[in-house]
Structure 1
Amino acid sequence: MYIRYLGFLLLIWFPDLLHAQSAKQSCRTPRLDNGYFETVEIYPDGQSLIYACDKGHKPAVEGWWATSICENGNWSHTPQCIDEKACIPPNIPHAEHNQEQDWYKEGHVFRVSCQKGYEHKDRNATTTCSNGAWTLQLVCEKTSSACGEPPKIPHAVIINQEYQDLFAADSVLQYECEEGFTVEGVDTKKTIICISGNWSTVSPCRSTGSGSTVGVTNGGHTTSTKPTGRGKETRPSTGPDESTVGGRGSTGSGSTVGVTNGGHTTSTQPTGRGSSTTSGSNDRNSQPLLISIGNCGDRPVIPNGDVVETGDKYLKYKCVAYHELVGSETVVCYSDGTWSQTPVCKESFCVINPAQFAGYNIQFYGSEYMEEGERKYYNCGWQYFSSLFECTNQRLSVTRCCHYSDHRRGQCKTLPLASG
């Protein structure tokens, strides 16, 4: 009787625990065409299923056998056997593509785009499935114009971007000073830009109280305390409070304050070995001041280009298809009301004219365009034979019809008419 009540109490006290235990679902035996495995009617959660494929087929993952795991009622990957000449998706770090399939038929052309800050190695953007393997290993490598992580700015945080270790050229980051600090004594926010592999000059965050005149009462006399290059300088004064001399408050860091001392007005400044400078002036002159784009008039118009992103102080452009952007994709507004230099969208493609290749048995569907750097295989009428077309510097390079194995070894000769 006691055990029965104990079980009832546990059911009341720990319903979430019991629900979590019962939520784990088993998996049913999957259907596997052209393959085999040890058949079990029900696979508990966490149970592995190992399978292999019949001759002429292979698993839709790496290896000649594969393992799928039951994960709460679903298999970690659907066990399936595909034609041995098909290909599974290539693994290309820092690449993006919209062809999300488990596998691809022979002859499929796989195209990728590299993430921002990366570019195609040797301008190769496509690869073709041929006899179970990809004809080319695509690589996305860091561009020379990209920047690493931005410099650490004391008393500031980046506010418009999550952390990453690589940024594309023309990336604009905004940072904000912590409370009690400003940039150049005015703003709490500032931007830095990635330009040709380097970050633009950073204006530091300075304390709003740095270098200010502080009135100190000492034995009935008012003294002025200033930071100097060799410690603090304290001078007695019998005049009015120095924070409101001449009817004006302290000008803050680097300011000159008139002090009345025995009927004479003296000037005290923060110094470094006697020199008098205005703090922050060099920082302001080291880089153009950026302001809101609303102060620069009409937006620049770029033929064959469009604005794809708008910020408070910048515009970002992108070219239409078959055009290449030359120059910085980011245009900013300067404090004098002018725009920074705008980029240019130049033509960047090749045209395939089937008539030019008459007699070579290459199969076309009419005139076609190829983007700069694109590689594409065209069938030649015989199984496993194709011709490789490449667009480089707006000129076509075309091989004769070759077997896929010769393509992989680079033994296919170039047609003499392809350079025209």
Structure 2
Amino acid sequence: MLQPGVSWKVYLGFAFLCCGAHRCVSASRYCPAPTLDGGYLVPQQDTYSHGAVLFYACENGLKPAVEGWWATATCRDGKWSTRPQCIDINDCIPPALPHAKYTSSSVGWYKNGSPVRVTCDTGYVHRNWDATALCANGTWSSVPVCERSTQACSEPPKIAHAVIINQNPKQDLYASDTEVVYECEEGYNVQGEDVKKSFFCFAGSWTAAPDCVREIKPTPADGGSTTSTGGRRPGSGHGGSDVGGRGSTGGGSSSKPDVTTVDRCGATPVVPNGEIVERNQMFLNYQCASFYTRVGPGRVVCHSNGQWSKAPACKAAYCSVDTGEYPQLKHVGVKFINSGEKVRLECVKLDHWLTNHYSVGSCNNEQMTLSRCCNWWDLTWNKC
């Protein structure tokens, strides 16, 4: 029974807000008007029904926390799709960075002067090693670009009668050194009990993998031995490629030996004035010492024939100058300079009011040249 003085419509309003003769919308699906500091809403209402679109803009010196000078928000089941906000015109909205991730802001925007560290997705690398974006006066400066790595691989090649079991979900790109494990369908297997059912992304290409061939049960006629038939000949390949990036030929032979794990080769190659800086299951990475430059690829792999690929060489790329052999230079011993670089060598004091004088040493093609002794002013204006 209704209480005295209370309309039956009030009770009904607590349960439903009717929107038609045959349809009613729950009151929980209505959105209250949002609070917007420094801006205005259109239309201005106390509540908005499910599906209603609200338009808003900001006062001078402010802007919406989304792209554009005006924005919208949609009421969905009692909540706004985005929270209307007005921010300082010099602050930044989240940057649009394809193939990248970065730390999201808890307030949905970034204050002027804020840096953002960017991480590229799998298979992508930073162009020019630039990994930081900076909010500067309302826009992002030095925005990093994530581009496809030359070492990444596209979708793994298809293996007949097999499925890949360790890559879920699928990816557009696979980083170098990614291992793909597969499983043969029932009744099929790879030849050899110790053969691993996997292959790797290496330098932009997939290494070859054993085929799945049909298993034949032994019969008295063959003396109890088990044989396999069907599919392709062992080692014929399935669309993968060797270290040179070329796949197997249709006849089952490849132009180069397949790549295998480094433990299948003997002692690692020795590179004078170089060292191994990365040791992986599928390759070795070499780096030259200071004042040496690498000639040839830095990555060395093991071929299935037990031979290493060609190792790089480390060529001298520096000049040296013995300051004791030059009377105009302050004696500090022998100085080494990388090829293509310059260095300032302090001269002995001269009879000038600017007492600090320097000679510029340049190293080009392993040949050292020295300029005359110049003062700070000449050096600053490239007159030396």
Query: Residue 35 in 1 paired to residue 39 in 2?
Result: yes
Q: Please tell me the residue identity of whatever aligns with 2:150.
A: S
1:181 corresponds to: 188
Q: Within 2, Cα distance between the matches of 1:60 and 1:97?
A: 18
Greater CA deviation, 155-164 or 94-103? Answer: 94-103
**Aligned in 2, Cα 1:99/1:152: closer, same or farther, shift over 3 Å?**
same
TM-score normalized with structure 2 length: 0.54
Return the alpha-carbon distance in structure 2 between the equivalents of residues 327 and 98 of structure 1.
34
Contact 1:253/1:279 (<8 A) preserved: no
What is the letter of the counterpart of residue 234 of structure 2?
G
Amino acid at match of 2:71: A
Inter-partner Cα distance in structure 2 for 1:107 and 1:33: 23
Retained in 2: the 8 A contact 1:128–1:135? Answer: yes
Give the match for residue 221 of structure 2.
242
Match of 1:132 among 125, 131, 138: 138
Query: Paired residue for 1:368?
Result: none
Q: What do residues 390-414 of structure 1 show as CA deviations (whole Å, max 9, x unaligned)?
A: xxxxxxxxxxxxxxxxxxxxxxxxx
Q: Secondary structure at the match of 2:128?
A: helix
**Letter aligned with residue 195 of structure 1:** F
Partner in structure 1 of residue 84 of structure 2? 79
Match of 2:125 among 105, 108, 119: 119
Equivalent residues of 1:176, 1:189 under 8 A apart: no
Matched residue type, 1:173: V
Shift of residue 147, structure 1, vs aligned partner = 0.4
1:203–1:128 Cα change, 3 Å: same
Contact 1:177 1:188 in 2 (8 A): no
Q: For 2:138 and 2:259, how far apart are their aligned partners in 1?
A: 56
Q: Following TM superposition, by how much is the alpha carbon of 1:145 offset from its aligned partner in structure 2, in angstroms?
A: 0.6
Per the alignment, residue 53 of structure 1 pairs with 58
Deviations 1:57-102 (A, max 9, x none): 0000011111011111111111010011111010101111123341
Could you tell me how far 1:314 is from its partner in structure 2? 8.9
Count of matched residue positions in the alignment of Structure 1 and Structure 2: 250
| Distance change in 2, residues 1:282/1:149 (3 Å) | closer
Q: Give the distance between the partners of 1:24 and 1:200, measured in 2 at CA.
A: 58
Structure 1: distance between partners of 2:184 and 2:228: 17
1:145 corresponds to: 151
Give the alignment's TM-score, normalised by structure 1.
0.50
Counterparts in 2 of 1:197 and 1:76: CA distance versus 1, 3 Å? same
Question: Structure 1 residues 281 and 194, CA, compared in 2 at 3 Å: closer, same or farther?
Answer: closer
Unmatched 5+ stretches in structure 1: 1-17, 215-240, 255-269, 271-277, 293-301, 308-312, 316-325, 337-414
- Provide runs of 4+ in structure 1 moved above 3 Å: 20-24, 185-189, 281-292, 302-307
SS in structure 2 of the partner of residue 208 of structure 1: strand
The share of aligned pairs that are identical, in percent, is: 42
Partner of 1:168: 175
1:197 aligns with 204
The amino acid that maps onto 1:104 is Y
Question: Among 15, 27, 30, which residue is 1:26 paired with?
Answer: 30
Matches within 5 A, 1:59-98: 59-98=64-103
Gaps of 5+ in 2: 1-21, 238-251, 264-274, 284-296, 307-378
Cα–Cα, structure 1 residues 279 and 125, in superposed 2: closer, same or farther, change >3 Å? closer
Give yes or no for contact 2:151–2:202 (8 Å, CA) kept in 1.
Answer: yes
Task: Give the residue type in structure 1 aligned to 2:158.
Answer: K
- Greater relative CO, 1 or 2 (CA 8 Å, sep 6+): 1
The residue type paired with residue 80 of structure 1 is Q
> Secondary structure at 1:51's aligned position in 2?
strand
Distance 1:56 1:125 in 2: 30
- Cα 1:62–1:151 shift into 2, 3 Å: same
Deviations 1:174-193 (A, max 9, x none): 01101110111536961110
With over 3 angstroms needed to count, the CA separation of the structure-2 counterparts of 1:34 and 1:305, relative to structure 1, is farther
Q: Is the 8 A contact 1:176 1:188 kept in 2?
A: no
Q: Secondary structure at the match of 1:242?
A: helix
Could you tell me how far apart the structure 2 residues matched to 1:146 and 1:182 are?
29
CA–CA distance in 2 between the matches of 1:291 and 1:205? 24
TM superposition shift of 1:128: 1.7
In the alignment, what sits opposite 1:354?
none
* 8 Å Cα contact 1:146/1:197 also seen in 2: yes
Cα separation, 2, equivalents of 1:306 and 1:287: 19
Structure 2 CA distance for aligned equivalents of residues 289 and 199 of structure 1 = 11
Q: Supply the AA of the counterpart residue of 2:127.
A: K
- Deviation, 1:195, is 0.5
Q: Which amino acid aligns with 1:183?
A: V
C-alpha distance in structure 2 between counterparts of 1:250 and 1:62, whole Å = 71
Deviation at 1:136, TM superposition (A): 2.8
Q: Which amino acid in the other structure matches residue 59 of structure 2?
A: D
Partner of 1:351: none
Does the 8 Å contact 2:40/2:58 carry over to 1? yes
Residue identity in the other structure for 1:250 = S
Q: CA-to-partner distance for each residue in 1:311-352, whole Å, 9 max, x for gaps?
A: xx899xxxxxxxxxx978xx99x9x9xxxxxxxxxxxxxxxx
Amino acid at match of 1:117: G
Distance in 1 of aligned mates of 2:137 and 2:173: 37
Which structure features the higher share of helix residues?
1
